Structure 1
Amino acid sequence: MAPDETGSAVVTGRAYRLVTTGCLTILIALIVVLGIVVSWLWYRHWHDGNVNSRRSEQALASILKQARAKADDTARALGTTAATDPATDPATDADALTEVIWQRTEAPVINYNASRREFTATAARSAVYDEAGILPGGGPVKVTRCLVFTYTPHPGRAWTSRVTERDEDMCRPGTEIGGRVRLAWTRIAGMPAEDLTRAGVQKALDPTGQRRSYDVKSAARRGDTVTVSLVVSSRGPGTTVDQCYRFTRPAAGGDGQNSATAVPASSCRPRG
């Protein structure tokens, strides 16, 4: 082999080794960088998961804390109402006590069990927390608990309250009823005065007569006020939940929805 060819081969070999070494060095560097990135992402995922879990638990604990405070406040209000007006005994005027409970809990479904002399109010309660995350998808997150408030009177003693958590399925009927009450409230508030009859309100709420979500029991005028009593229902597979509501508004109309009210009642029987 000629001297120039030998030198050329040596140079080529060195260049090849340099290129190979350089590529290997770059590859190792990329692997190291990729390992650092993966480790960092794993750590952030683990860290953010712990942070979000803690925030979710705090939000849920806050719901329960507020619910218990609200239950205690409602129990005191029931005791005050009974002391102020002895006629508001559950056996004789469950409607008045139902209204006291609704004013403080805004529970869409409130039942009175006469045999146990006990009120139960079912409502979903929510709280919002900020979800941590390095990727899109973080931000405000709402958590919800289904709660049942129980109120019981005791002879010679104050009312007692109890808050229990239930499966979210138990609150779905109440959520549906709450939405339907708001719709009924809007329609009744905007109806012409001459249509505020039992048949007129039934047609306004259920034009096709097929939904069976509303059953208007009465529409009575007393002085300048019209009171509409109706049963609002939620129907699901194997279960039906009914709640009576009483809507009031000026007989001749008024300031739109601001003049109408909707309050749950223990039953839709005509008041004596």
Structure 2
Amino acid sequence: MGSDIDGGTVVTRRANRFVTTGCLTTLIALAVVLGLVVSWLWYRHWHDENVNSDRSDKAFASLRKQARATADDTARALTAGGTTDPDALTGVIWHHSQAPVITYDPSRREFTATAARTTQYDEDAMLPGGGPVEATRCFVSTYTHRPDRTWTARVSERDDDVCRPSTQIGSRVRLALTRISSMHAEDLTRTGVQDALDPTGRRSFEVRNVEREQDTLTISVLVSSSEAAANQCYRFTRRVPDQGSAEALPLSSC
């Protein structure tokens, strides 16, 4: 009888050892798999960070190169133009740079153009959230008229908040273009345009003058950013009496 009990005990111990060994093997296998997964995730994160950092650096370098090239092209155009009229010079700068705010300092014979430049690059990511990313930099370009009648350009990169008023003015100019383009000819008076551009009286737009010459209407408007941090005079033109697309051009003053 005792022999049967001892035999059963031996079998039970062997079974327990088999189960324990199997569990231990499974745990080791899971640990190895988990380690490999963690290692892969870490590598992928490190790889993506490096790739994205490199793409970001290249995007910003491209923006700086574009800003410098635009400033050089603008300076050459100013020199070639040969004019001293501030409005005409402002138009040359705007034509090349599309800067929403262009100011003129007659005492220094300098123009300053403030504008943000934007580009996109693709960002890698394991989880949703990757894809196109917008890169933006703020640039201030200064154009100086030298005694030898040539123009020189300086470009500086500034904090984003320096360009914020310029960006707001650019958005408001586009809004004004849309509203002026859709207005009926009989409403294109100084009061009518003022009401259309600034119906809530926030003073974002101040219509200074409305003139009509034959079939062309010219509207001078002072466009301001929030809290009047910056303003820029614009000349809007539109053919009348038919509705049609308006055009905008910054001026040195209204």
Normalised-by-shorter TM-score class? over 0.9
| Cα RMSD after superposing both structures | 1.2
| Structure 1 residue 208: Cα displacement | 2.9
Q: What count of residue pairs does the alignment treat as equivalent?
A: 254
| Structure 1 residue 253: Cα displacement | 2.3
2:113 to 110, 121, 126: 121
Match of 1:57 in 2: 57
**Paired residue secondary structure (1:246):** strand
Match of 1:85 in 2: none
**Paired residue secondary structure (1:48):** helix
Alpha-carbon distance between aligned partners in 2 of 1:133 and 1:203, rounded to the nearest angstrom = 48
Write out per-residue CA displacement over residues 204-241 of structure 1, whole angstroms, 9 at most, x where no aligned residue: 111232x11000000011122110001110124xx621
Contact kept in structure 1, 2:168 and 2:226, CA below 8 Å = no
Match of 1:216 in 2: 207
Unpaired segments ≥5 residues, structure 2: none
Unpaired segments ≥5 residues, structure 1: 83-87
**Paired residue secondary structure (2:229):** strand
| Structure 1 residue 9: Cα displacement | 1.1
1:242 to 231, 235, 250: 231
Aligned-partner residue type, residue 40 of structure 2: W
Match of 2:250 in 1: 264
Structure 1 position 253 matched with structure 2 position 242: yes
Match of 2:104 in 1: 112
Aligned-partner residue type, residue 227 of structure 1: T
Equivalent residue runs for 1:86-105 within 5 Å: 88-89=83-84, 93-105=85-97
Equivalent residue runs for 1:1-272 within 5 Å: 2-82=2-82, 88-89=83-84, 93-209=85-201, 211-236=202-227, 240-254=229-243, 256-257=244-245, 260-268=246-254
Aligned-partner residue type, residue 141 of structure 2: F
* Percent of aligned pairs sharing the same letter: 65
Aligned-partner residue type, residue 24 of structure 1: L
Consecutive aligned runs of 4 or more in structure 1 exceeding 6 Å deviation: none
Q: TM-score, normalised by structure 1?
A: 0.90
| Structure 1 residue 157: Cα displacement | 4.6
Alpha-carbon distance between aligned partners in 1 of 2:125 and 2:232, rounded to the nearest angstrom = 42
